[in-house]
Chain A
Amino acid sequence: MFITRYIKEVWGAVKSLTTGMKRTLYYFTHHKEIITEQYPDNRDTLVLPDRFKGEVVMPHNESNEHRCTGCTACELACPNGTIKVITRFDITPEGKKKKAIDKLVYHLELCTMCGLCIEACPSDAIKMAQTFEHSVFDRNKLTKVLNNPDSKIMEGVE
């Protein structure tokens, strides 16, 4: 029958619309469901997972020593030429020449945080830091030297 079908159609439509409206009304009245994080305000409580890939850093110990041997494995592993290892030759007290890094240049602006350099490093000299607020006004600031000035290689790292 045409009329009953018509009425059924209208009724079904109204019912489906009210189901949706009930759902949105639920969220309108239940503010505890809000999931917004107020980012710059919650900086103090913000916890990033320990594996978060934010930036490559080179950890140093208290006596300003790092673990980098200057093997350039990271430079070779990097797909974008982000890392440039500049080596020099130190003269050890025994009079032997020893390869060491002069500078480990890291171009943050080129880095895609793929983590291949960290995988490649044989001596665990570099790791990912959990920083992510990298914006600066001057692009030159994004080119970083990872080893501290006057830093030395740790004893026993080959």
Chain B
Amino acid sequence: MYKEPEILSNYALGSNSGVSLGEGDFQINFGPQHPATHGVLHLVITLNGETIKKVEPHLGYIHRSIEKMCESLTYRQFIYVTSRMDYLSAHINNHACALAVEKGLQVEVPARAQVIRVLMDELTRIASHELWWGAMAMDLGAFTPFFHAFRERESINDIMEETCGARLTMNYMVPGGVMHDIHPNFQKRVKDFLQLYKRKIHEYDELVTGNIIFQNRMKGIGYLSAEDAVSYGCSGPAARGSGVSSDIRKIYPYEIYDKLEFDEVLETAGDSFARYMVRIKEMHQSIRIIEQLIDNIPEGDFQAKTKNVLKLPKGDFYTRVETARGELGVYIVSEGGTTPYRIKFRSPGFSNLSVLDHMARGSKIGDLVAMMGTLDLVIPDIDR
């Protein structure tokens, strides 16, 4: 029997974790460099054979103190930094910040800008879910879906590049509207994308969803009850997979979401497969929203008139949006100056990660990877 050197077991990182190392237990460091963590997430896993006894996330490897940085940037400037938090839904992050500033300034955003913002948000959501779909299939050992997902994602990125000037960190939202008007090709390109998407969507089911191996890996694994989802503060697809209604677009509608027709996707099973299906169906709902809006972009300004130097009145402002991963809250405390006194981001990834230990106990290493896949963790979003 292999005996761990004493110095190592004394130095066990999770010694305060409530699970003591028993006979035959051992700990492995899952990350910070690991193919399945998609970033620098470090999990200390206590294992008994293949069975997980405890998962302890160690954060901080990509902490860039974005909140602190924002305190020294003006209200126009700090928006661009938030693209670097959850880089897969950069538009939506920027949107949340713009909304918070607008709330403080009490600026009315023109109707055209609102529609453009929502269109961009939904395109971002689809792009993010595409990447999640591919990356999650890759975690489960199927490499091909990753490239197939990137084909569709790439065409969204092209649309973004044409209108916003960048593919990932667009910085398109400014307080009071959007930076430029949409590109003349925008509508045509989006329609082309919708066509491509509809032509290819059935392949997702053929390659992954319907696959018996995939279903066995997903169904009944990583169970999260509705109560636990609420008490751990889960949001987004992670909560909706457990039947917790948490779509900010429906509960606290912002922009024009209350005038749009779309469904909040709810699954009640609470397992990995439910979370998977929520995301897949959310893509369909996003397509539905885009179809409603793409031909109905109202004429008008794309940006409200704002002062050159923005000053928020004294007080605190909180806005929330639904990113691709869940609820993103932006909390600004203003002392009346040109820079925020304090900013706090309530990121969805952090709360969703906290539930991992609860879900993973008693399952196998392969399941842990699948669970992390369905939680759709973006590490810079967790650390900020």
Contacts and interface: CB of A to CB of B under 8 A. Distances in A.
Contacts of A24: 144, 207
Nearest to B215: A16
A49 B184 CA distance: 12
A16 B212 contact: yes
Contacts, number: 66
Given A52-B161, A79-B81, A119-B174, A17 B180 contact: no
A116 B154 CA distance: 26
A49 B144 CA distance: 30
Interface of B is mostly: helix
Interface in A21-62: 22-24, 35, 48-49, 51-53
B207 A23 contact: yes
Contact of A112 (B78, B165, B169, B207): B169
B77 A116 contact: yes
Contacts of B166: 52-53, 113
Contacts of A145: none
Interface of B: 73, 76-78, 80-81, 144, 151, 154, 161-166, 169, 171, 174, 179-180, 183, 203, 206-207, 210-213, 215
A67 to B, nearest CB: 19
Given A20-B211, A35-B154, A53-B165, A79 B179 contact: no
Contacts of A119: 174, 179
B174 A19 contact: no
Interface residues of A, number: 25
B165 A49 contact: yes
B212 A51 contact: no
Interface of A: 12-13, 16-17, 19-20, 22-24, 35, 48-49, 51-53, 77-79, 112-116, 119, 128
Contact of B80 (A19, A35, A49, A79): A79
Nearest to B155: A35
Given A17-B212, A35-B151, A51 B81 contact: no
Contact of A49 (B161, B171, B206): B161
Nearest to A26: B203
B211 A16 contact: yes
A115 B206 contact: no
A133 B215 CA distance: 44
Contact of B162 (A12, A17, A49): A49
Contact of A51 (B77, B80, B144, B183): B183
